[in-house]
Amino acid sequence: MHYVKVKGILSAKNGMNLYRGCSHGCIYCDSRSTCYGMEHDFEDIEVKENALELLENALQRKRKKCMIGTGSMTDPYISAEMKLESLRKSLLLIHEYGFGFTVITKSNRILRDIDLLQKIHARAKCVVQITLTTYDENLCKKLEPNVSTTAERFNVLLRLRDAGIPTVVWLCPILPFINDTEENISGILDYCTEAQVRGIICFGMGVTLRDGNRQYFYSQLDRHFPGMKERYVRTYGTEYILSSPNNKYLMEIFNRRCAQQKIMHDPEQIFRYLNTFDEKQACMGLRPLRGPPCIPPEAPPRRFSTSFRWRGHASCAAGASLTRSARSGDLPPRRVNAIARCRVGQTPFQPNTMGSSTHFVPRFSPFPRAPCLPEIQCTQEVGLPLAVLGLYPEIFAHPSHTMIVRNSGH
Ligand code: SF4
pLDDT at residue 18 in the model: 97
Q: Is any ligand 1 atom within 6 A of the Cβ of residue 107?
A: no
CA of 74 from ligand 1 middle (Å) equals 6
**C-beta 10 within 6 A of ligand 1:** no
Domain edges within the chain: 2-283, 304-409
For ligand 1, the distance from its centroid to the CA atom of residue 150, given in whole angstroms, is 14
Structural element, H or E, at residue 159: helix 150-162
Q: What is the pLDDT of residue 187?
A: 97
Q: What pLDDT score was predicted for residue 324?
A: 39
CA 6 to chain centre: 20
| Average pLDDT score over residue span 320-344 | 39
Please give the model's pTM, rounded to 2 decimal places.
0.70
CATH number attached to the domain at 2-283: 3.20.20.70
Distance 24 CA to ligand 1 centre (A): 6
| Distances in whole angstroms, Cα of residue 110 to Cα of each of 157, 195, 212, 318 | 11, 16, 29, 45
Per cent of the chain over pLDDT 90 is 66
- Is the pLDDT higher at 68 or at 347? 68
Which of 20, 31, 87 best tests ligand 1's pocket when mutated (most atoms within 8 Å of CB)?
31
Which atom from ligand 1 is nearest to the alpha carbon of 105? 1
Where does the pLDDT of residue 343 fall: very low under 50, low under 70, confident under 90, or very high at 90 and above? low
Q: Is the CB of 130 under 6 A from ligand 1?
A: no
Reported confidence tier of residue 369, pLDDT bands at 50, 70, 90: very low
CA distance 19 to 81: 9
Q: Which atom of ligand 1 is nearest to the CA of 107?
A: 1
Quick one: 35 exposed, middle or buried, by C-beta within 10 A (0-12, 13-18, 19+)? Answer: exposed
List helix spans (H) across 237-333. 247-261, 267-275
Decide: 172 in ligand 1 pocket, CB within 6 A: no
Rounded CA separation 405/309 (Å): 7
pLDDT reported for residue 322? 45
For 100, list phi and psi in degrees, rounded to 5: -95, 170
Q: Is the pLDDT of residue 211 over 50?
A: yes
Q: Quick one: which atom of ligand 1 is closest to the CA of 22?
A: 4
Flag whether pLDDT at 399 surpasses 80. no
Q: What is the pLDDT of residues 174-189, one digit of tens each?
A: 999 999 999 999 999 9
The pLDDT value given to residue 140: 98
User: Could you tell me if the CB of 75 is within 6 A of ligand 1?
Assistant: yes
Q: What is the mean pLDDT of residues 386-402?
A: 40
Give the C-alpha distances (Å, rounded to integers) separating 51 from 79, 165, 331.
Answer: 18, 26, 15
48-77 average pLDDT score: 95
CA of 410 to the centre of ligand 1 (A): 44
- Calculate the alpha carbon distances from 107 to 126, 148, 217 in Å: 17, 5, 21
Per-residue pLDDT at 228 exceeds 80: yes
From residue 145, alpha-carbon distances to 26, 46, 201, 314 in Å are 7, 21, 22, 70
Pairing of strands 376-380, 304-311: antiparallel
Ligand 1 closest atom vs CA 25: 5
32 touches ligand 1 (CB under 6 Å): no
Average per-residue pLDDT for the chain: 78
| Atom of ligand 1 minimally distant from the CA of 42 | 5
Q: Tell me which residue of 394, 319, 315 sits closest to 364, measured CA to CA.
A: 319
CA of residue 376 to ligand 1 center, whole Å: 54
Closest Cα to atom 8, ligand 1: which residue? 29
Residue 167 has pLDDT above 80, yes or no: yes
Output the residue whose Cα is nearest ligand 1's atom 7: 29
Residue 316, amino acid: C
Q: From the CB of 26, is ligand 1 less than 6 Å away? A: yes
- 20-33, pLDDT tens digit by residue? 999 999 999 999 99
Q: How do 347-349 and 304-311 pair as beta strands? A: unpaired
Round to whole Å and give the CA distance between 154 and 159: 9
pLDDT band at 298; cut points 50, 70, 90: very low
pLDDT value for 279: 59
pLDDT in tens, 303-324: 444 444 444 443 444 444 444 3
- Would the pLDDT of 258 be above 50? yes
Per-residue confidence (pLDDT) for residue 313, from 0 to 100: 41
Closest CA to 349 of 335, 371, 366: 366
Q: Which of the two residues, 381 and 274, has the higher pLDDT score?
A: 274
pLDDT band at residue 85 under the 50/70/90 scheme: very high
What is the Å distance from ligand 1's center to 108 Cα?
Answer: 14
- Give yes or no for a contact between 372 and 400, defined as CB atoms under 8 angstroms apart: no
Which residue's CA is the closest to the ligand 1 atom numbered 6? 26
One-letter amino acid of 234: R
- The CA distance from 173 to 208, in Å, is 8
